[in-house]
Amino acid sequence: MSTAPEQTRKRRMPRAERERQMVAVAEEIFADRGYLAASMDEIAERCGVSKPMIYEYFGSKEGLLVACIRQARAQLATATTQAVVGATGPRDALRRGLVAFFEFTDAHRRAWSLVLRNEAAVAGQAAAAEVEAVRQEQVEINIALFSTFLPDTARTDLEVAAQTVVGACERLSLWYVGRDDITADQAADHLTRILWGGLDALVDPR
C-alpha cells in the first residue's frame, strides 16, 4: 500500500503558530507601506494562506493591526518589568527601565513604528485604543515601580511622574532610533539626568 500522498502532504500549521506568522508578516507590511496602503492580498500571499483565512483569524484589517500592536505591548511590558528586577534604588530602577525601553524600540523598530505613527488613528477606534493601552500599561508599570521605592508618596505624584516618564520616552525614542551614534545606555543616561531632578524631589521633598 502506497503512503506517498501522506508523505507529501503539507504539515498543517497549528493555529497559534499560524497567527504568529500572520502577525509577523503584517507587522512588516504595515510598517513598510502604512496601514492604508497595506494589502490584505499581499499579506495572505506572503503567508501562503487565503485572504478569507486572515479574516477568519482576525476579523478585519484593523483587527490584524490590533494584534500587531498588542504583541508589541506584551513584549515591551515583559522587557521593562524584567529589567528592573534587582534594582538597588529608585534612580537605578529608572535607568534600568529606560535602557530596556530604548533597547526594545531599537530591536523592534517595525513594531514600535506602529505605536508611534498615526496608523492606529487612521485604522479605527479599536487600534487607537490599543495604542493608548500600550501607554497606560507602561504608566501603571512605572507607578508600581515608583511606589515600591517611594511607599509614602501620594498616588497623584506617582501618576504625574509615571505619565511624564512615558511621554518623555516616547518622544526621545523618535530621536534615538534615527541615530547611529547613540546607544540605548547613552539615551537612558541622557533621560535619567533630565528626569531625575523631578523624581528626586519625591524622594527628598525638602
Q: What residue segments make up the domains of the chain, in order of their start?
A: 70-203
Q: Find out whether 98 and 83 touch, Cβ atoms under 8 Å.
A: no
pLDDT tens profile 94-113: 999 999 999 999 888 888 88
pTM above 0.95, yes or no: no
Q: Look at residue 163 and give its three-state secondary structure.
A: helix
Helices (H), strands (E): how many in the chain? 11, 0
**How many angstroms separate the CA atoms of 85 and 137, rounded?**
18
What end-to-end distance do the CA atoms of the chain give, in Å? 87
Q: Exposed e or buried b for every residue in 54-67, given b needs 16+ CB within 10 A?
A: beebbeebbbbbbb
Q: What's the confidence (pLDDT) of residue 200?
A: 61
Judge whether residue 204 has pLDDT over 90: no
pLDDT at 201: 59
CATH of 70-203 among 1.10.357.10, 1.20.1090.10, 1.10.8.870, 2.40.128.630: 1.10.357.10
| pLDDT for 192 beyond 60 | yes
pLDDT at 37 over 50: yes
Predicted local distance difference test score (pLDDT) of residue 89:
86
